[in-house]
Chain A
Amino acid sequence: NAGVTQTPKFQVLKTGQSMTLQCAQDMNHEYMSWYRQDPGMGLRLIHYSVGAGITDQGEVPNGYNVSRSTTEDFPLRLLSAAPSQTSVYFCASSRRQGFTTDTQYFGPGTRLTVL
């Protein structure tokens, strides 16, 4: 099992550009999520999905779009990059969203810089 994979590892964008961060998991997990991690702040939830075709907003969804067409993939789209979106982005998955004891498995992260 590769677990949770993310691409790219690093990305530099100019303000206004758009891009997609890829996330895939091979554990047949129902629940997938995107977090951003900024200095001095905890991991903050951007969007999440409880299954293919179902997505919802987290704590900081503005400027991001997601879709979940398959169980395995959960891409995060930046529509028009802004310097405030400079961050490290983590994708995570867990077996089922509603079960309290399911831990999350994290991808290796994508470090994004917006100039």
Chain B
Amino acid sequence: ILNVEQSPQSLHVQEGDSTNFTCSFPSSNFYALHWYRWETAKSPEALFVMTLNGDEKKKGRISATLNTKEGYSYLYIKGSQPEDSATYLCAFKGANNLFFGTGTRLTVIP
């Protein structure tokens, strides 16, 4: 069982604010780091898969960075919108399976 930690647990921001949150994971035996977006009453949907130290991924206003040497990834949202309200999960890919963090619940206030 691997320890994947996300912080903060929850976050409230005003519409238009930029925000970021953190995923920490073991720095050894790294295969990949996944980010998922999980809206209430829906299923998690993949945002990014990151494999290389220094990787940066971007999808619209959302971007992510990866530091495998120190074991962390940041997810950034620029100019948050109410539709960005969701729980953002990261998952560490071990040899066989994914190990999920508990998520950061983001609420964007109009």
Tally of contact residues, B, Cβ under 8 A: 23
A109 touches B1 (CB 8 A): no
Partner-contacting stretch, out of A64-72, A77-85, A95-103? A95-103
CA distance in complex: A40, B30 (Å): 25
CA distance in complex: A28, B97 (Å): 19
Q: When A42-B89, A45-B97, A107-B43 are in contact, do A101 and B1 touch as well, CB less than 8 Å?
A: no
Q: When A41-B102, A42-B89 are in contact, do A101 and B97 touch as well, CB less than 8 Å?
A: no
Q: Which residues of A contact B97 (CB under 8 A)?
A: 33, 45, 48, 58
Instruction: Indicate if A104 sits at the interface (CB-CB under 8 A).
Output: yes
- Nearest first, the 7 closest Cβ-Cβ pairs linking A and B are A103-B46, A106-B43, A42-B100, A100-B32, A43-B100, A100-B31, A42-B102
Chain A residues with CB under 8 Å of chain B are 4, 33, 35, 40-45, 48, 56, 58-59, 90, 97, 100-109
Chain B residues with CB under 8 Å of chain A are 1, 4, 31-32, 34, 42-46, 49, 51, 89, 91, 93, 96-103
